[in-house]
């Protein structure tokens, strides 16, 4: 037995629940229940899935087995989509759902196998996981005919996305590139600078910290309308909301970071006769970096939420918050979902970029060290 | 400078061909830490004067104030009473002139800097050009047996290696006064012997003044011109033992077998035991 084979644990029996699928109706057509042998394409896909399970020991490596089983999973996920396109109803198709459940459990094994391999194939795991979620969403909403008002299938959201791409881009530019970016930079920058000031002037820190707790308890829906009244409909009011939301997290994190240098490290600087600013630049700020990134990451999501909520209370006729509020009123939930997708994607990308930068800049920190 | 007061333990440095210059002068130094519940008498009426080129070892049980004494000289701690001068200046002036290099009891390396850049830190602060800095750092790392580790990060090194980096860092800017707080505490016997030899050679060739804390009697006798035995609660000087009279300045490791060496070591041990009896 090869070493990679030894490393592969035996498959748990759960995916085999799909073998019960032929016993139950596999689809409904014009009110009549159809069983697996009566639908040739479904039978072929089902046979393919079962065959991959039976043949799973043939590939020499874990990666090979993962790819083989993935074919079986893909066949199972394709089956309901094919049947739906042929006009079958699936709500009472117990056999099909068993098949799908077995395939999803099989996917579990694929992901476990991929997590064990080295190299770029490892990265396929999370991507497959995300794709499977979207596909299940599509299959379940369409299979059970969930009203699109409640939850549209992803395909419908994608269509809305393509049809409204120009609007969505304008919204993105208004909300993210203008309001969020400016508010975020002002809020984080001010928090950082005031923290450095407060670090030098202790009574300032003592006065500001309780205020920070107070500010973090203020609900954004409370301050947003006030800021719109103060600063008008355009980006300034959104930026103001974001500044209020992001200032204190940044301040508190920076202050904590500046305090985090150890006494002996400070003594070393002192022994070199280094002054306040040099000690700040060469010791205290590097020490504070993990804390700074923490603040920046928290604030990246806060800023996006702040801008979108603030747009509910008044905005020029563009912006993600504006789009959501108006399209909900018109029952165009697919556009709402497309906007939500843009917001979610933006938030994740922002957060991911910051996390990546953090990994790069503070690779020395105990939580990120690689030997 | 005022004339030497006849303080009980102030020692006149041994007469040499050139008039020895006092580098560190400590008079009636007392330091009390105000801890939360009760005061800690870390140092009580300590007087000591150290001439240029001296190698002074401080030895004594844990908590007897060795680190505190060095920190006062380095202007990292303010005395409660008494006077300290370094190079004829107050410790603060001396610190601002970068009169000393301090090897702390812990390595105190900056984890975001590579080993080499840690050693270059004081040179960077002093504004030395980059190429010179790098060359100096390489030389010092070579001296402590760490060439090849320049690009590693401190946390990729063992504890003893980290401590050697901190020694290289203190040596890098070539201070006339070296304060070393148990620099070899975390090292194996062989490396320790090797570095002891390196240190005496360096000290002999550069005529630096060293104040050195150790818990090893043999190390203290081997390295020092004078050994200061301290005792705790309150921290004070029990005995000052002159090694220069009986041992040559230039020393090799086999000197440790000689009867003079054994005699001095014995005296240090007796002093330490006397100090320990105060514990109970
Ligand atoms: N910052 C401080 N605050 C209060 N007490 C302190 C402080 N630093 C040291 N002490 C006390 O002063 C005394 C002397 O401490 P010091 O560190 O000088 O001892 P030491 O001789 O260096 O001991 P060791 O050999 O263990 O390093 C100890 O009793 C210690 O508890
Ligand atoms: Mg100590």
pLDDT digits (tens, 9 = 90+) for A334-354: 899 999 999 999 999 999 999
pLDDT exceeds 90 at position A312: no
Q: What is the mean pLDDT of chain A?
A: 89
Q: At what angle do helices A165-172 and A154-163 cross, to 10 degrees?
A: 80
Domain of residue A228, residue span: 161-368
Q: How deeply is A250 buried, as exposed, middle or buried, from its count of CB atoms within 10 A (0-12, 13-18, 19+)?
A: buried
Which CATH number fits the domain that encloses residue A326? Answer: 1.10.3720.10
* Kind plus residue range of the DSSP H or E element containing A220: helix A220-231
Indicate the class that CATH gives domain B22-99+175-277. alpha beta
Angle between helices A320-329 and A333-361 (to 10 degrees): 160
Do A114 and A197 share a domain, yes or no?
Answer: no
Q: Which of B101, B106, B156 sits opposite A264 (nearest CB)?
A: B106
Beta-carbon separation of B111 and A271 below 8 A: no
Residue A156 resides in a domain = no
Say how many CB pairs under 8 Å bridge A and B: 51
Q: Residue A264: list chain B partners with CB under 8 A.
A: 104, 106, 108
- Compute, in angstroms, the gap from residue A367 CA to the centroid of ligand 1: 31
Same domain, A141 and A168: no
Structure token digits, residue B279: 């514990």
| Domain co-membership, A122 together with A175 | no
Residue A151 within any structural domain of the chain? no
Per-residue confidence band for B173, with pLDDT thresholds at 50, 70 and 90: confident
Bigger pLDDT: A82 or B252?
A82
Asked if the Cβ–Cβ distance from B121 to A272 is below 8 Å, we say yes
When pLDDT is cut at 50, 70 and 90, the band that residue B5 belongs to is very low
Residues A361 and A220 in one domain: yes
Q: For residues A280 and A320, state if they share a domain.
A: yes
pLDDT at B34: 85
Band of pLDDT at residue A370, cut at 50, 70 and 90: low
Region A302-324 average pLDDT: 88
| pLDDT attached to residue B118 | 95
Give the whole-number percent of chain A exceeding pLDDT 90.
Answer: 49
Domain identity same for A22 and A137: yes
Query: Does ligand 1 come within 6 angstroms of the Cβ of B64?
Result: yes
Q: Would the pLDDT of B2 be above 60?
A: no
Q: What percent of chain B has pLDDT over 70?
A: 91
CB-based contact A282 B125, cutoff 8 Å: yes
Q: What is the pLDDT of residues B96-140, one digit of tens each?
A: 988 899 999 888 999 999 999 999 999 999 888 988 999 999 999
- Per-residue pLDDT, A295: 94
Q: Where along chain B do the CATH 3.40.50.300 domains lie?
A: 22-99+175-277
Predicted confidence at residue A99, as pLDDT, reads: 93
Query: Which residue from B32, B36, B42, B69 has its CB within 8 A of the most atoms of ligand 1, so it is best to mutate?
Result: B42
Query: Last residue of a domain, which of A88, A116, A146?
Result: A146
Q: How far apart are CA A117 and CA A123, in angstroms?
A: 10
ipTM (interface predicted TM): 0.85
For residues A200 and A278, membership in a common domain is answered with yes
Q: Per mean pLDDT, which range of A231-235, A348-352, B20-24 is the poorest? A: B20-24
Q: How close is the nearest chain B Cα to the Cα of A121, in Å?
A: 29
Q: What's the total number of domains in chain A? A: 2
| Residue A130 included in any domain | yes
Position B177 pLDDT exceeds 60: yes
Q: Are residues A350 and A203 in the same domain?
A: yes
Whether residue A169 is found in the same domain as residue A301: yes
- Give the CA distances from residue B62 to residues A20, A203, B95, B232, in Å, rounded to whole numbers and listed in that order: 75, 39, 26, 8
Annotate A50-78 with b (16+ C-beta within 10 A) or e (fewer). Answer: bebbeebeebebbbebbbbbbebbbbbbb
Nearest to B76 among A271, A362, A369 (CB): A271
Q: What is the DSSP letter of B105?
A: S
How close are the terminal C-alpha atoms of chain B, in Å?
41
Does B20 score more than 80 pLDDT?
Answer: no
Question: Which pLDDT does position B206 carry in this prediction?
Answer: 84
Residue A8 DSSP SS3: coil
Instruction: Tell how many helices (H) and how many strands (E) occur in chain B.
Output: 8, 9
Residues A213 and A319 in one domain: yes
- Tell me how far CA of residue B170 lies from CA of A205, A367, B101, B108, in angstroms: 36, 29, 5, 11
| Side-chain-side CA neighbours of residue A366 (13 Å) | 1
């Amino acid at each position: 037995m090869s070493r990679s084979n030894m490393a592969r644990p035996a498959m748990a029996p759960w995916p085999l629940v799909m073998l019960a699928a032929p016993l139950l109706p596999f689809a409904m057509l014009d009110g009549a229940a159809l069983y697996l042998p009566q639908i040739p394409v479904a039978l072929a896909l089902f046979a393919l899935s079962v065959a991959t399970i039976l043949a799973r020991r043939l590939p020499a490596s874990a990666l090979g087995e993962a790819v083989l089983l993935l074919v079986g999973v893909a066949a199972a996920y394709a089956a309901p989509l094919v049947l739906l396109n042929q006009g079958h109803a699936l709500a009472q198709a117990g056999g099909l759902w068993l098949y799908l459940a077995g395939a999803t459990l099989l996917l579990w094994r694929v992901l476990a196998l991929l997590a064990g391999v080295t190299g770029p194939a490892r990265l396929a795991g999370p991507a497959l996981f995300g794709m499977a979620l979207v596909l299940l969403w599509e299959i379940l909403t369409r299979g059970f005919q969930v009203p699109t008002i409640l939850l549209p299938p992803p395909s419908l959201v994608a269509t809305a996305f393509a049809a409204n791409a120009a609007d969505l881009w304008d919204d993105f530019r208004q909300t993210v590139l203008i309001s969020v970016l400016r508010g975020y930079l002002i809020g984080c920058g001010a928090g950082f600078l005031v923290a450095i000031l407060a670090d030098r002037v202790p009574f300032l820190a003592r006065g500001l910290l309780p205020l920070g707790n107070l500010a973090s308890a203020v609900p954004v829906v409370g301050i947003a309308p006030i800021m719109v009244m103060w600063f008008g409909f355009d980006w300034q009011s959104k930026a103001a909301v974001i500044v209020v939301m992001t200032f204190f997290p940044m301040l508190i994190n920076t202050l904590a970071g500046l305090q985090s240098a150890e006494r002996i490290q400070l003594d070393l600087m002192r022994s070199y006769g280094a002054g306040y600013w040099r000690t700040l630049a060469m010791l205290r700020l590097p020490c504070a970096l993990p804390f700074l990134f923490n603040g920046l990451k928290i604030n990246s999501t806060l800023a996006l939420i702040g801008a979108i909520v603030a747009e509910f209370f008044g905005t020029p006729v563009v912006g993600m918050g504006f789009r959501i509020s108006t399209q909900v009123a018109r029952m165009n939930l697919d556009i709402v979902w497309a906007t939500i997708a843009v917001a979610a994607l933006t938030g994740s990308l922002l957060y991911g970029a910051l996390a990546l930068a953090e990994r790069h800049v503070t690779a020395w920190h105990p939580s990120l060290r690689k030997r | 400078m005022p004339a030497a007061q006849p303080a009980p333990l102030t020692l006149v440095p041994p007469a040499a061909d050139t008039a020895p210059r006092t580098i560190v002068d400590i008079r009636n130094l007392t330091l009390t830490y105000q801890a939360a519940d009760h005061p800690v008498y870390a140092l009580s009426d300590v007087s000591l004067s150290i001439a240029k080129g001296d190698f002074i070892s401080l030895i004594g049980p844990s908590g007897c104030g060795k680190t505190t004494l060095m920190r006062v000289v380095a202007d990292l701690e303010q005395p409660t009473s008494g006077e300290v001068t370094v190079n004829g200046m107050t410790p603060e002036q001396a610190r601002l002139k970068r009169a000393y290099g301090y090897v702390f009891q812990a390595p105190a390396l900056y984890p975001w800097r590579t080993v080499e850049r840690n050693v270059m830190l004081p040179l960077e602060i002093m504004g030395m050009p980059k190429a010179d800095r790098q060359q100096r750092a390489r030389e010092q790392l070579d001296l402590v047996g760490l060439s090849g580790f320049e690009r590693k990060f401190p946390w990729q090194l063992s504890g003893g290696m980290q401590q050697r980096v901190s020694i290289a860092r203190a040596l890098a800017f070539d201070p006339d006064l070296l304060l070393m707080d148990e620099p070899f505490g975390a090292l194996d016997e062989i490396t320790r012997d090797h570095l002891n030899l390196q240190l005496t050679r360096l000290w002999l060739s550069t005529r630096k003044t060293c104040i050195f804390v150790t818990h090893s009697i043999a190390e203290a006798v081997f390295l020092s011109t004078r050994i200061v035995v301290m005792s705790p609660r309150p921290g004070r000087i029990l005995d000052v033992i002159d090694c220069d009279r009986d041992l040559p300045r230039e020393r090799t490791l086999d000197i440790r077998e000689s009867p003079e060496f054994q005699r001095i070591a014995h005296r240090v041990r007796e002093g330490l035991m006397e100090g320990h009896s105060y514990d109970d």
